[in-house]
Amino acid sequence: MSIEMILMQDVKDLGTAGQVVKVTDGYARNFLIPRKMAAMVTEGNRRQLAKLQTQREIERKAAKEKALDLAAAIQKGSYTMPVKVGEGDKLFGSVTSGDVLKLLSAQGFELDKHAVELEQPIKELGAFDVKVKVGVDVETLIKVWVVQE
């Protein structure tokens, strides 16, 4: 027997918050309801879900505004990475996304370890554009100067 449930949060392989889904009675009773992932389809639950979605949207907008401000501040900075160089201006090692993240941290920007996106490590001197993912749907490009130490 299947019943209709309103998902209160995203459930992997089932649906997203706010969606009305049909699930088996046992799955609803033993998994979804105890974990407060879903509720029975009633008018009160629909209102509660609408209120939750409005609150989440406000939080999402505030987080995006904060990320945009951080992206603007990061983009204004100047980033120089001094490295050891051998003969022929060959780098000893390479500049990785972790190195760029440390450079940003030294400037006072605390980001997730996956925020810096380099297609491949930098292995030569020069100026390079590096993509930094600041938040959900917010990215910025910074110029990193790799210079001789």
Quote the pLDDT of residue 86: 84
Quote the pLDDT of residue 74: 92
Q: What is the mean pLDDT of the segment spanning 95-107?
A: 92
Q: What is the pLDDT of residues 30-64, one digit of tens each?
A: 999 999 999 998 888 888 878 888 988 999 999 99
Integer distance in angstroms from the first to the last C-alpha of the chain?
71
Name residue 8's amino acid. Answer: M
- When pLDDT is cut at 50, 70 and 90, the band that residue 77 belongs to is confident
133 and 78, same structural domain? yes
Looking at every residue in the chain, the average pLDDT score rounds to 90
- When pLDDT is cut at 50, 70 and 90, the band that residue 132 belongs to is very high
CB 40 within 8 A of CB 112: no
Domain that holds residue 15: 2-66
Q: Can you give the CATH number for the domain in which 14 is found?
A: 3.40.5.10
Picking from 66, 90, 116, the residue at the C-terminal end of a domain is: 66
Q: pTM here?
A: 0.69
Quote the pLDDT of residue 97: 92
Beta bridge partners of 138: 135
Spatial separation of the C-alpha atoms in residues 34 and 32, rounded to whole Å: 6
Quote the pLDDT of residue 47: 87
